Structure 1
């Protein structure tokens, strides 16, 4: 009997032990499921995948356990806790990068509150833009198969063809009903868009780029140049699509440069919104629409927007704190071309074009808007360009490789520009460019500002075509744009000089300001748009070789004289630092052998060094 009792006791304990093991396994499995799925989270930090990553109540219990890195934290600029040093990281450079990210995150607190505020607000904006969509079909009906020719702006030329109201009316055609419908939609949008943003949605000054795809590398090169010349402004890189987000770039590289990525969807749609009933889903954002979206979603109140292939020559920090930006709130830069906007646009937006008053005459040869008698008496309007008449968007057309805007003073023009771009390819681009080359977002910001009667500043100094000569022909490789602060000062100086009657005083003022009066403002931006500065593509496409197979300078021998230093050498040296010294991994070069890439960069650098003696000073 005793033996049976002991046997049963032993059997009971064994079964109890098995049951406890099974229960423990079930308990651990349930905890794992809860941990992975998470509960409701009040945090609205952005996410990069569609399913999201949400912390659960279990996080607070096992906070010491290392959790998966959130893509949302990387995008929002909130990397994992860097206060705990990872003992496995012995590399000094890696430690330095972690410290840099930690410093960046201390300067830029969590965006959860800002994002939560933005979700509702941005959705309400997109609702207005969606409800105000044009009800007419695509505007593509022209009087003939001819299109307006892409005429270069030249104030001194005796034009065979004046871009008058009559001439510009002879291309894109709209019926009376189409005009009425377009006007109705436009008026609805203007009436319902907000004039300002919620408090604390935006703050400070900063630089914004549109990245993604091939533009990630170009953006990084531009940012590297900014930091190497001493720019301290914070930077945000707008990433439109999830498959264009590069983990190393956004999570490792940019935070060390006081820069971060912002993923578009994360700033438009709350990760807690599972309904799909948001207006962002009704738009297929692409192309030229990204610039207006990047400005809108960036955290900065005042923005310098740069194309990814736009490289600053000098530090741009002071642009935000000096005239003309402080009083105008919007700065645009000139393009080469005459403005070709259809008169139908002015009918649609309700702008009256004066038949008796003129705008100042733009003289690109000296970079100045000349005042002139504004009253037109007995003039034939067919002899006057439409865009020299008061009420019209002034000549010349705009080049949007760079743009400055204050969301405090120009928020509604920004939203109207977004409207123009959302329906640009089908409706507004034809109105702005009438089928000529180069249509896109470049006219939309100034058009919206003029239409809403907000102040603006057009840089007077005409852009410079940059490139080199090959076999006697000029090969264009980019555009140089000028410093608006010095441009504004030069313009004000010319106005003051015209008022001085004392010749001695006049001579003294001229001598003191000789540089501005002789050469004008300094070059501030190089829009390196063709070819773009991808070292491997430049090699493959033979852009840095002449017809004899010899290496060349893309920008010729005059850049040092223009910029004050060997601009081209600096770019190639930055390429070497990023790709060969720091060994950053980027999608643009994923299929390129690193040794071949770095050999090419080094050889071009050596060539540039050997030819420094040939540069103009």
Structure 2
């Protein structure tokens, strides 16, 4: 065969093989396109059914770990899920919120009563007349808000879109950004020291905060089985733009929960330190039966009675069903003369005392999805109306009562921890200064409460109402004070926070001459660590952690940028050497 014929024959064979290969590729591509086209209507139909509010739960795809690149790291949604469908769902939900906007003019705003906002309901008797006198609310405004709320209940979805969370997953959710990233890191370290294996998601409200926290998100958190999620990536840019101006940090708690990928959420404030492993709580009978666990604040509930009118909740003025947070089983109707002395929230249909402290809560987004949607609405228009209605300016005014209020309105179960707060602090010349709130172990608390309910409260059903009140009062005073034997679960270091920059700016506690604190903030508070079966001095341990993080490991946090870290580390060392020797 001539060389030219050989070349021609060879080229012909390759040309024929290439043609066959192109045909195969074309067939494969065509099949892929057909499959995708078949999947699209299914996805659209699923979403359309969910917008109809009545479709049952559907299977969802598993979560994937966020990748290193910005576009993937901030994704925060599931593999195989059309991100635009999740964004569209939240866009529709927030459109419902905007449709039912609470946009009061100054003349319509609830105005202070005779004693004004900021009253302390502790020690007072918050009867119906007492609460109504705190805030003057025009009848016309009540009618308008009631109409808006009724329409909202018609439009609000009956459940969360199931694909917004991974079915059966559990984890811890915090809010980060700036100093909240620093505080979250301390909290996560303490969480890991308890032996907890729960994944953690730190929610960042904006892309800008993500860009400022790149080291924190990409280098620091992954070592602790934690990750960043940027809320706009999950909720959509249009939702974030639609939020009211001056949206405050505590308003973001409900947004953090809905932005997270967990079904079962342990929401933890960034300045809250866990002392006991929380992992088993998600599998407890208590959590599985109620789906929402909350903790008490210091104050009696100060919700205005108008709230129940607006939300169509009937409060039976003739039936007292509890003393404070403990149930009564009497069938006696109240006399007209008794009503003036009975606390309003002891009545049948009202939310039980005490008010809520939302530095920590457990919630199941599958069973309490609608409560979460309603709580988000309450927070969206909280400063304009609902915070004033729920708290009336009592201490801690803000998001704290919105979660329980939403569940109560919708008739969804919840358990409020009965043990009171144990306050930790130090003494200064002008008296005691509390710096942290110790909240008690919810399962141990429920165990104690169930025992008292079984042995003392329920057997008293044949006693008079007055006798039952005395029994409940004795149970409260003997077994559910802040000093009871229920072990502490979290230390909410709310004021001041464990932030060296903040502490060094406070003249009342900072000794600038010696570059240290004037006082031992936690006054030698110790606890027994279940993970290590030893006594730990809380403050000493936290300052050692702070020193190790900033001064030895030199972990980078944007919060400390443009500050003299050497000076900060000297402050920490001075404070440790002066005060933080473990007490015996």
| Structure 2, unaligned runs of 5 or more | 1-36, 38-66, 461-477
1:548-605 Cα offsets, whole Å, 9 max, x none, are 9775321112334799411112211221232123211112211222222222223333
Corresponding residue to 1:574 among 520, 545, 555: 545
- Name the counterpart of 2:306: 344
The total of aligned residue pairs comes to 487
The change in CA–CA distance for 1:229 and 1:467 in structure 2 (over 3 A counts) is same
Say whether the 8 Å CA contact 1:152–1:336 is kept in structure 2. Answer: no
2:109 to 140, 150, 164: 140
Q: Tell whether 2:93 aligns with 1:125.
A: yes
1:523 aligned residue: 488
Question: Which residue is 1:373 aligned to?
Answer: 330
- CA gap 1:114/1:497 in 2 versus in 1, 3 angstroms: farther
Please tell me whether the aligned partners of residues 360 and 371 of structure 1 are also in contact (alpha carbons under 8 angstroms): yes
Q: Is the 8 A contact 2:128 2:305 kept in 1?
A: yes
Residue 435 of structure 1 and its aligned partner are, at CA, apart by 3.1
Q: CA deviation at 1:413?
A: 0.7
Pair 1:299–1:470, CA change in 2 (3 A): same
- Provide the rounded CA distance (Å) in 2 between the counterparts of 1:308 and 1:600: 23
Q: Distance in 2 between matches of 1:409 and 1:69?
A: 34
Contact 1:134 1:181 in 2 (8 A): no
Partner of 1:166: 129
Decide which of 250, 254, 257 is 2:217's aligned counterpart. 250
Q: What is the CA distance between 1:547 and its match in structure 2?
A: 11
2:437 is equivalent to residue 470 of structure 1? no
TM-score under structure 2 length normalisation: 0.77
> Which residue is equivalent to 1:283?
243
| Bigger Cα displacement from structure 2, 557-566 vs 393-402 | 557-566
Does the aligned pair in 2 maintain the 1:205–1:300 contact within 8 Å?
Answer: yes
Q: Mark the runs of 5 or more structure 1 residues left unpaired by the alignment.
A: 1-41, 43-67, 78-108, 271-277, 363-367, 502-513
Please report how far the alpha carbon of residue 493 of structure 1 lies from its aligned counterpart in structure 2 after TM superposition: 1.8
For 1:57, the equivalent position in structure 2 comes to none
Tell me, in whole angstroms, the C-alpha distance in 1 between the residues paired with 2:80 and 2:323. Answer: 49
Q: Which residue of structure 2 lines up, in the alignment, with residue 52 of structure 1?
A: none
In the aligned structure 2, how far is the partner of 1:130 from the partner of 1:606? 55
- Which residue in the other structure is 2:441 paired with? 483
- 1:313-462 counterparts in 2 under 5 A? 313-362=275-324, 369-380=326-337, 381-462=339-420
Say if 2:257 is the partner of 1:295: yes
Distance 1:110 1:424, change over 3 A: closer
Structure 1 CA distance for aligned equivalents of residues 334 and 150 of structure 2: 33
Cα distance in 1 between the residues matched to 2:416 and 2:551: 41
Change (3 A) 1:493 1:349: same
Displacement of 1:323 in angstroms is: 3.4
Aligned to 1:593: 564
Q: Contact between 1:222 and 1:308, CA under 8 Å: does it hold in 2?
A: yes
The CA distance in 2 between the partners of 1:269 and 1:388, in whole Å, is: 42
Partner residue of 1:552? Answer: 519
Aligned 8 A contact 2:293 2:361 in 1: yes
Which has the larger strand fraction?
Answer: 2
Does structure 2 conserve the Cα–Cα contact (< 8 Å) formed by 1:551 and 1:607?
no
C-alpha distance in structure 2 between counterparts of 1:135 and 1:546, whole Å: 47
Of 177, 195, 210, which residue of structure 1 is paired with 2:140? 177
In structure 2, the residue matched to 1:15 is none
Q: Distance in 1 between matches of 2:141 and 2:86?
A: 35
Highest CA radius of gyration, 1 or 2? 1
Aligned-residue offset at 1:174: 2.9
Determine which of 226, 229, 243 is the counterpart of 1:259: 226
Contact 1:143 1:172 survives alignment (8 Å): yes
Please state whether the residue corresponding to 1:376 is helix, strand or coil: coil
Q: For residues 176 and 472 of structure 1, what CA distance do their matches in structure 2 show? A: 45
Distance across 1 between alignment mates of 2:80 and 2:381:
31
Deviations 1:521-568 (A, max 9, x none): 210111101111012432342566689977532111233479941111
Which whole-Å deviations, capped at 9, do the CAs of 1:148-179 have from their partners, x for residues lacking one? 5533545xxxx5xx321122112323333322
Partner Cα separation in structure 2 for residue 434 and residue 540 of structure 1? 31
* TM-score, structure 1 as length reference: 0.73
Higher mean C-alpha deviation, range 196-205 or range 345-354: 196-205
Conserved 8 A contact 1:330-1:410? yes
Partners of 1:589 and 1:300 in 2: CA distance? 31
Report which stretch shifted further, 225-234 or 553-562: 553-562
What SS class does the counterpart of residue 395 from structure 1 fall into?
coil
Q: 2:574 aligns with which of 603, 606, 610?
A: 603
CA distance in 1: counterparts of 2:302 and 2:230, whole angstroms: 35
Whether the 8 Å contact between 2:201 and 2:260 is mirrored in structure 1 is yes
In the aligned structure 2, how far is the partner of 1:526 from the partner of 1:494? 26
Residue 217 (1) aligns with residue 182 (2): yes
Equivalent position of 2:74 in the other structure:
75
Alignment map for 1:9-88 (pairs within 5 Å): 70-76=69-75
